Amino acid sequence: MGVSEQIKKDFTTFTWVLIAVAIVINIAVGQLVSLLKLPIFLDSIGTVMVGVLAGPWAGGLAGLITNLIWGVISSPVAAAFAPVAMVIGIAAGVCARMGMFKTWWTAIIAGLIITVFNSVVAVPIRLYMFGGITGSGADFAMAYLLALGRDLFGSVVVTVFTTNVIDKVATAVLVWGIVKSLPARTAARFPALAKA
């Protein structure tokens, strides 16, 4: 099956509904975490869920749209990280297709893989667009590392990777738990679950 055929197969009406719900979850949880200035994000639960249930293309689109909408309604910084959100959804979908959401411990590995891809895209954005400071709770870690005498690049890499390891592993395990608790009738709507 070609890429265009797979994309058409992935985007059912139910998938579009799932993407809409995921966007609301991402923004609501992300706003709450942002208001509390927590050092993690938890703004990609819906994105990872779509990636696992409906495949990488749907997951990537859910992440991209989430951040673009979020950027328009309240946080321009979120829009700048739209490519990161897209990569998270794609990586989650690929991990699910590789069977990495079958057990809690493989979900942890999926969270680590998502973190690596997330970091590769997020570090340049955080560094070159924002000088390392984005107004998130992770800025405390940045300030601490800079106060210790670390250079800006090293501080951004360490901050992005460490905060995202915690965040993405927690997100992946949470999504694994949600997916495993879905009723069989709901799960049957998502062919990707057979591989997850």
Dump pLDDT digits (tens) for 135-164: 777 777 888 888 888 889 988 999 999 989
d(CA 114, CA 160): 13
- Mean pLDDT over all residues of the chain? 90
DSSP, res 37: T
**Residue 188 is encoded by which pair of tokens?**
């049957």
Evaluate if residue 59 carries a pLDDT over 90.
Answer: yes
User: Over 80: is that where the pLDDT of 130 sits?
Assistant: yes
Q: Kindly list the domain boundaries of the chain, sorted by start residue.
A: 3-191
| 56 within 8 A of 117, measured Cβ to Cβ | no
Q: CATH number of the domain at 3-191, please?
A: 1.10.1760.20
The whole model's pTM is what? 0.90
The dihedrals phi and psi of 95, each to the nearest 5 degrees, come to -60, -40
* pLDDT confidence tier of residue 192, bands split at 50, 70 and 90: low
